[in-house]
Amino acid sequence: MATEAKVDPMHQFAIDRIAPLHLGPYDISFTTSAAWMMVAFLLLLVFFALGSKRELVPGRWQVAAESVTGFIDNMVDVNIGPQGRIFVPYLFSLFMFILVANFLGLLPLAIIPGAHAFTITSQFSVTGVLAIMSFSIVIIVGFWRHGLKFFSILVPHGTPTLMVPMIAVIELISFMVRPISLALRLFVANIAGHILMEVFGSFIVSGVHGGLVGWLVSLLSFTFVVAVCALELLIAALQAYVFALLTTLYLNDAVNLH
Amino acid sequence: MPQITQLPEVFASQLFWLAIFFGLVFFVIGRGLLPKIQSTAISRQEKIADDLAKAQAARAAADETEAAWRTRTDAARADAARIAQQARQESAREAEVRIKRALDEIDANVDRARARIRASVQAARAEIEAVAAEAAQQMVEQLIGVKIDSPDAAKAVSAEFESAARERGRNQNLGQESERPRAA
């Protein structure tokens, strides 16, 4: 019992196979991670299918759906301009997918015995792929629209000629770091919050067995978990927005240079 | 950290299923449902702008109609006032004419009646003169025994009557003047 009560805060990030599946040499088993991606997709599908009734006087659901699309539309309009229209579906998908994934990870499913929420966006493999995808789109759009002139992104306006090589190297590094920072930011924000909640949650459980001081510790930890939960809800929305916004800004660089 | 320790064994699966489900999100929602929602919002905005413009136009039209109506009613009112004035003048003139005619008729009647009265008075006077002359003849004959010819008696009586009638006629003329107040 004592060994079982010991909580491994990292266990929540482990991926379990649900249905083993192989494609040639690759293991593409349907995992808990894939299942939660599916849940995210289905939720989004239901939400936006109900929200696209195209009524002139919208119902509540339609207003909700339209406010999200309007939010992304506005973000793209402000940061890229009319030329950014074609990126709206991608940025919208990115934002919604990350947002729903973040929120799904915060669902208190652990109160059901044997179940626990899984946060897709706490997987570096997922955030990394999304970041590389965004970065690739930026590079493709940049070279497609501007050709080799896209390299001028490495030289800010007003750089003295003597400084150009050095600045270019620095800018190149900062440019190449973009996908990594993009992926790490989301991943770290999620993993840190979840570890915090798990750790303080385990404090509550172990404190219950430790007399009066233990109860105080439990109470304090509980208060802290509530606060962290609220913070995590904020971070879930914020990180989705930050990911989408940074992708938008990078796309703006590619579309309009600077 | 399972994300790192598990990475080699789950990476292919993660990539595969992310591609599938993010792809579904992108194609089904991002490219399928999103444009519908956007176009609905845009068409609503257009409809609202359109309706507002229509309402503005309708209001302008209403204002115009009201102004036209006002000028029309003003004109009609002025017309009515003019016609009423005319009618009033017309009827006043007509009434005047009718009153004048009636007065003339009354004057004529009065004149006729007066003539008749005068004729009767004259006839009566002639009769009285005759009777008076005879009476005077007889009185003179009885009183002083002088027989007077009837023409002489008639002449004397007539002279006497004449002077009396003159006296009375003056009075009558005065009364006639006060008897006829002229209407306007």
Q: What is the pLDDT of residues A78-94, one digit of tens each?
A: 999 898 899 999 999 99
pLDDT classification of A175: cutoffs 50, 70, 90: very high
The answer to whether B38 faces chain A, any CB pair under 8 Å, is yes
Other Cβ atoms within 10 Å of B2 Cβ, number: 16
Residue A118 near residue A36, CB atoms below 8 Å: yes
Cβ–Cβ below 8 Å for B1 and A51: no
Question: Is B184 within the bounds of a domain?
Answer: no
Question: Is B132 within the bounds of a domain?
Answer: yes
Measure CB to CB from residue B21 to each of A10, A15, A37 and give the nearest one. A37
Measure CB to CB from residue B25 to each of A23, A56, A97 and give the nearest one. A97
Mean pLDDT of A100-128: 89
Supply φ then ψ for residue A7, to 5 degrees.
-100, 130
- Domain spans of chain A, in order of start: 2-256
Place of tokens 């940049």: A142
Other Cβ atoms within 10 Å of A89 Cβ, number: 21
Q: Give the count of domains, chain B.
A: 1
Q: What is the pLDDT of residue B97?
A: 96
* Closest CA of chain A from B50, distance in Å: 13
ipTM score for this prediction: 0.89
Q: What is the pLDDT of residue B10?
A: 87
Cβ–Cβ below 8 Å for B33 and A55: no
| Coil/strand/helix, residue A17 | strand
Mean pLDDT of B153-158: 80
What is the rounded CA–CA span in Å between residue B79 and residue A35?
Answer: 88
Q: What is the pLDDT of residue A1?
A: 36
Measure CB to CB from residue A10 to each of B2, B7, B37 and give the nearest one. B2
Nearest to A26 by CA among B6, B23, B10, B20: B10
Q: What is the pLDDT of residue B99?
A: 95
* Closest CA of chain A from B16, distance in Å: 7
Cβ–Cβ below 8 Å for A70 and B24: no
Question: Which residues of chain A neighbour B18 with C-beta distances below 8 Å?
Answer: 37, 125-126, 129-130
Residue B119 in tokens: 């004729």
Q: What is the pLDDT of residue A5?
A: 47
Q: What percent of chain B is predicted at pLDDT more than 90?
A: 54
What is the rounded CA–CA span in Å between residue B35 and residue B41?
Answer: 10
Residue in A with minimal Cα distance to B29: A45
Measure CB to CB from residue B14 to each of A41, A48, A123 and give the nearest one. A123
pLDDT classification of B145: cutoffs 50, 70, 90: confident
Q: What is the pLDDT of residue A150?
A: 87
User: Is 90 exceeded by the pLDDT of residue B171?
Assistant: no
Cβ–Cβ below 8 Å for B22 and A49: no
User: Is 70 exceeded by the pLDDT of residue A138?
Assistant: yes
Residue ranges of E strands in A112-245: none
* Closest CA of chain B from A179, distance in Å: 17
Residue A31 near residue B11, CB atoms below 8 Å: no
Question: Which residues of chain B neighbour A15 with C-beta distances below 8 Å?
Answer: 2, 6, 10, 13-14
What is the end-to-end Cα distance of chain B in Å, rounded?
128
Q: What is the pLDDT of residues A188-238, one digit of tens each?
A: 999 999 999 888 888 888 888 888 888 999 999 999 999 999 999 999 999
What is the rounded CA–CA span in Å between residue A40 and residue A94?
Answer: 12
Residue in A with minimal Cα distance to B45: A56
Q: What is the pLDDT of residue A2?
A: 40
Cβ–Cβ below 8 Å for B2 and A187: no
Q: What is the pLDDT of residue A7?
A: 67
The answer to whether B88 faces chain A, any CB pair under 8 Å, is no
Question: Which residues of chain B neighbour A88 with C-beta distances below 8 Å?
Answer: 34, 38
Cβ–Cβ below 8 Å for A191 and B11: no
Residue in B with minimal Cα distance to A31: B13
